[in-house]
Amino acid sequence: MGLFTSRKTETVTPLDGIDVILADLDGVVYAGPNAIDHAVESLGRAVADGIRVGYITNNASRTDAQVAEHLSSFGLEVAPHDVVTSPQAAVKLLVDLVPAGATILVVGGEGLTSEVERAGFVVTRKSADQPAAVIQGFSPDVSWRDLAQASFALHRGIPWVATNTDWTIPVEGGVAPGNGTLVSAVHTAVGTLPVVGGKPEKAIFDAAVARFEAHSPLFIGDRLDTDIIGANRAGIPTVHVLTGIDGPKQLLAADRDSRPTFILDDLRGLFEPYPATVLSHDNTVATVGGAVVRIRGNTVEIVKEGDSAVNRVRAGSGVIWASGQPIYGLDVAPGLYS
């Protein structure tokens, strides 16, 4: 995968040839209870143009029906079947690890417990009930006592499944600790790691492609370490949108596995011609639109600012990625990331 690079000047839109959009939620469609600017209108326009939209989320605190209701409140037409959750992926893993109908210690909210019960398992919150496994997902109500019960149970050597290991989650007030921080707390206590169902694991993407019968999907995310790397592993072209967790600094430093196909300011860019990244023959100069960025030795400098910050980020990413040099060895012009 990686940024669209070319020595030609032809342009396409990110939606050319796409039959299904797979969109992350937090940081892409909404932050907390509020829609992100231009996201709803853009996704609605895609549907009107005949492109199906499905939603993939690592957030395990809500059910697919609750997520669909939230999205519908913005004016989108979304059914529970349109939402693929990390609890659904995690429970599929659980099915292969424990007997049918087993008792499972759940750390998490209704989004996780509902999927565990839907699969025919018995939910408990207590280690004393001798659960066959622990399954852990994010909920704002998870407490130290919940983590302690998981630790007690896991010391018996039973399977441990996590919905995801996102370190952070974007919410209305800013960026908050995510499920990865809670999983890390339990890991510190027990010395083992869980099997993970959600992004960046490939299974959740494969499940979404199968559910929506996608032939040419496009994934939209805001995190490189889960969204983009996961979709790249699944062989799905990616859009990184600058409305969530990872910004220009992270893009410039992205390793080969977590580089997106497209970089957008917001989702309006789905419908706009995407400018090619034109590299010089020695890969030391990148031009995107009117923005020109050059790398000389270990210095990355802006030659021409162009008409937009996003084009500078695209050009800077293109020339840094093409150089093969690690970001920590480069002196990068602050205008590329601030």
User: Catalytic residue numbers?
Assistant: 24, 26
What residue has token string 């293109």? Answer: 318
The answer to whether the CB of 98 falls within 8 A of the CB of 239 is: no
By the 8 A CB rule, do 147 and 182 touch?
yes
HSE (CB half, 13 Å, CA atoms) of 236? Answer: 35
268 close to 13: Cβ distance less than 8 angstroms: no
Of 95, 103, 94, nearest in space to 132 by CA: 103
Structure tokens of 176?
Answer: 């908050």
